[in-house]
Amino acid sequence: MNIHEAIRTRRSIGKVQDTPISQDKIEQILEAGTWAPTHRHTEPWRFFVMTGGGRDLLGHVMADISEASAQDKSEEELAAARDAAIGRAYRAPLVIGVAVAPADDPKVIELEEYGAAFAAIQNMLLEIHGLGLGAVWRTGDFCYKPQVNEVFGLGEQDKMLGFLYVGEPDMTPKEGRRESAASKTTFIDQSTRRLES
């Protein structure tokens, strides 16, 4: 599969089989992430690989956050919500948390650190696709809670940018659609001080 094909055929695969992913494939995925562009070579990404019972770490923090936000629920409802939250960590045999740890250097622009970590995630998703595996990048408000930083040993300035759920595909993805690049592009071929809206 060439890069042209990989970019255009990769899809989010939310349903995967329970088959474990081999260590060599996991290492290939992580290595792909490290080849993302990074300003000033800070390499601000951090990876957390969860397999087997290691997924409990994610499941329990999701359950704790869910329980903390629950209001007016019975003990039975809280227990069911906890079980459901823990179960979400087991939707794939491999879960990789990707965080950004911005460099503590006044010359480094924090937003560029986020850009590098997001580029690492895209590299990983393309590598996963190239290996014939499926993945979905799950994010949301939960990722940015202080409890997540605490559980994963992240600093106060760091952020968990999401979790890649990876496995052998167990679904047929829908055909992808995008608006044309032309609809999002402005070509500038002569000197100008500003563009008119």
Q: Which tens digit of pLDDT belongs to each residue from 13-39?
A: 999 999 999 999 999 999 999 999 999
Measured distance CA(44)–CA(158) in Å, rounded:
9
Nearest to 161 by CA among 134, 140, 147, 188: 140
Write down the pTM of the prediction.
0.95
- Annotation: binding site: 10-12, 39, 137-139
**Residue 184, CB half-sphere, CA atoms under 13 Å: how many?**
4
Residue 122 is predicted with a pLDDT of 98
Task: Return the CATH number of the domain spanning residue range 3-184.
Answer: 3.40.109.10
* 82-103 residue pLDDT tens: 999 999 999 999 999 999 999 9
| Residues 134, 182: Cα–Cα separation, whole Å | 30
Question: Does 197 score more than 80 pLDDT?
Answer: no
Give which of 160, 165, 168 is closest to 47, Cα–Cα: 160
Annotated binding site for FMN: 10-12, 39, 137-139
- The one-character DSSP state at 194 is -
Say how far apart CA 44 and CA 98 lie, in whole Å: 10
Q: Distance between CA atoms of 57 and 55, rounded to whole angstroms?
A: 5
Domain ranges of the chain: 3-184
pLDDT at 195 over 80: yes
Flag whether pLDDT at 196 surpasses 90.
no
Q: How far apart are CA 19 and CA 92, in angstroms?
A: 9
| pLDDT for the residue numbered 71 | 77
* pLDDT score of 70 more than 90: no
pLDDT tens digits, one per residue of 109-139: 999 999 999 999 999 999 999 999 999 999 9
List CB contacts of 10: < 8 A, sequence separation 6 or more.
125, 126, 129
